[in-house]
Amino acid sequence: MPKKLFIKTYGCQMNVYDSGRMADLLAPLGYEATLTPEGADLVILNTCHIREKAAEKVYSELGRLRPLKEERARLGGRMMIAVAGCVAQAEGEEMIARAPVVDLIVGPQTYHRLPELVARAHRAAGAVLDTDFPSESKFDHLPETQAVDGPTAFLSIQEGCDKFCTFCVVPYTRGAEFSRPAAAILAEARRLVAAGVAEITLLGQNVNAWHGEGPGGGSWSFARLLHALAEVPGLERLRYTTSHPRDMADDLIAAHGRIEQLMPYLHLPVQSGSDAILKAMNRRHSADDYRRLVERIRGARPDIAMSCDFIVGFPGESDADFVATLKLVSDIGFASAFSFKYSPRPGTPASGEARQVDETVKSERLAALQQLLGAQHDAFNHSMVGRTLPVLFERHGRQDGQLIGRSPYLQAVYATAAPALMGRIVPVTVLEAKPNSLAGALTPAAGAVSQHMEVGA
């Protein structure tokens, strides 16, 4: 009898990648993925600790799982509940006390030990905990095969962070920066393409800080890795996320003008437009550094769509600091952005700051910033109407006969299209811009338009 595995994923794309690998690890033990927790033999919550709300969601979910677990026990079965990811790492011991329903706690750097941990948890009376930062890399212990889900895939190439922004938990939950060797990344990319993947998004908490061992020895830069990946036959599109402004090296900027497969979309968080706040955040760049950087990136790839993250209400943020953020947003013009109220995180330097910003001020600033960013996002999407964009169809739409895909600028585009076009890059003329997607129609004279038509435009 196959055992049922339910995984719920919170947080960033790296967690999405990790959840896939956990399923790969558990498949040889007879675990098959299910879509609901009811009746599952093993439930894994792969958690995020980045903001307080994200972390609290885990405890609510555990509350909902408890009756399911009890019901299962009444019927003579057992539902094992595991918590993985960044909350597991940050709150392991506390969690055992606060949520006795949990059988197993495993951190982001030890989940390759899941098969052994699950076996131990079956035998153990209390909860089993593994939140080490082991000397071995989990990547060396993960199985090769990876379940592929459609024509796009994530590939983690870098983990952890040594930057220690004063608001952020990631250096504590994910540990020190680590780059996978180029050969392992290239091999994984080839396997993904062989399984039908056309677009790979390279992942890392600081993906552009990647610098690794080259296949023949010696050290490679991230740009060199991108050039090598672009040579993989059948790999049509490349993206990477998330980047730090400090790691946008010259050869990486140049790569945006040279590598056709590299899509013209860059998520490059700045967090604030005020130099005083950037300094207090330990970002180690100024607002003008960021402006100049974007100018150079646009010099290499004029049509690049810029995306960003912002935090409002960081301790000590004055009205003038906030206005500087609005100014930076107006100066740059973002195609998309995420913005958050500062959330004090246990153990981070900024959480102990005396000058915390009032909650209502944070809310007002967030609303003002989101209004501006929303207007820029709408303007960007409206500028696409009438244009023909190469769209990689990746899933079925809500309506019959509809396919949904992504433009080079990461916009969701839907159109009526034959199912055979799934996984293909097809020219689509944009008819209408909706708040979160573009409505389009297939261009009759299809074939001639390549996805790279925008390069150097």
Nearest to 86 by CA among 347, 356, 313: 347
Interface mask (CB under 6 A) for ligand SF4, residues 398-437, using x and -? ----------------------------------------
Pairing verdict, β 402-406 and 412-416: antiparallel
Task: Measure the CA–CA gap between 457 and 452, rounded to whole angstroms.
Answer: 10
Select from 50, 203, 225, 259 the one that contacts ligand F3S (CB under 6 A): 50
Select from 20, 37, 85, 204 the one that contacts ligand F3S (CB under 6 A): 85
Nearest to 284 by CA among 331, 246, 235, 338: 246
Tokens 């690890």 correspond to 25
Pairing verdict, β 3-9 and 199-203: unpaired
14 binds, among ligand SAH, ligand F3S, ligand SF4, none (CB under 5 to 8 A by kind): ligand F3S
- Phi and psi at 341, nearest 5°, equal -80, 140
- Does 118 contact ligand F3S by CB under 6 A? no
Q: Which is nearer to ligand SAH, 4 or 285 (CB)?
A: 285
Q: Which is nearer to ligand F3S, 37 or 85 (CB)?
A: 85
- Does 161 contact ligand SF4 by CB under 6 A? yes
Q: What is the DSSP letter of 386?
A: T
The two most distant CA atoms of the chain are separated, in Å, by 67
List, as one string, the DSSP characters of 317-373: --HHHHHHHHHHHHHH--SEEEEEE----TTSGGGG-S-PPPHHHHHHHHHHHHHHH
Select from 21, 113, 163, 174 the one that contacts ligand F3S (CB under 6 A): 174
- Does 168 contact ligand SF4 by CB under 6 A? yes
- Does 170 contact ligand SF4 by CB under 6 A? yes
The gap from C-alpha 92 to its chain's centroid, in whole angstroms, comes to 23
Q: Which is nearer to ligand SAH, 322 or 340 (CB)?
A: 340
Interface mask (CB under 6 A) for ligand SF4, residues 201-240, using x and -? ----xx----------------------------------
Task: Measure the CA–CA gap between 307 and 390, rounded to whole angstroms.
Answer: 20
Question: Structure tokens of 68?
Answer: 């399911």
309 binds, among ligand SF4, ligand F3S, ligand SAH, none (CB under 5 to 8 A by kind): ligand SAH
Select from 86, 225, 277, 350 the one that contacts ligand F3S (CB under 6 A): 86
Length reported for the chain: 457
CB of 441 to ligand SAH, least distance (A): 36
Task: Measure the CA–CA gap between 402 and 393, rounded to whole angstroms.
Answer: 10
DSSP3 helix / strand / coil % (the chain, rounded to 5): 40, 25, 35
164 binds, among ligand SAH, ligand SF4, ligand F3S, none (CB under 5 to 8 A by kind): ligand SF4
CB of 129 to ligand SF4, least distance (A): 24
CB of 296 to ligand SAH, least distance (A): 19
- Does 49 contact ligand F3S by CB under 6 A? yes
Q: Which is nearer to ligand SF4, 285 or 406 (CB)?
A: 285
Q: Are the CB atoms for 20 and 9 separated by under 8 Å? A: no
- Phi and psi at 82, nearest 5°, equal -115, 140
Q: Which is nearer to ligand F3S, 268 or 422 (CB)?
A: 268
Helix, strand or coil, per DSSP, at residue 315:
coil
Task: Measure the CA–CA gap between 293 and 246, rounded to whole angstroms.
Answer: 9
- Does 345 contact ligand SF4 by CB under 6 A? no
Q: Which residues bind ligand SAH (CB under 6 A)?
A: 50-51, 167-168, 170, 205-206, 242, 244, 269, 271, 309, 311, 340, 342-343, 345
Task: Measure the CA–CA gap between 175 and 166, rounded to whole angstroms.
Answer: 15
CB of 359 to ligand SAH, least distance (A): 13
- Does 428 contact ligand F3S by CB under 6 A? no
Stated as kind and residue range, the H or E segment containing 133 is: none
340 binds, among ligand SAH, ligand SF4, ligand F3S, none (CB under 5 to 8 A by kind): ligand SAH
Where do contacts with ligand SF4 occur on this chain (CB under 6 A)? 161, 163-165, 168, 170-171, 205-206, 244
Residues making contact with ligand F3S (CB under 6 A): 11-12, 14-15, 48-50, 85-86, 169-170, 173-174, 205
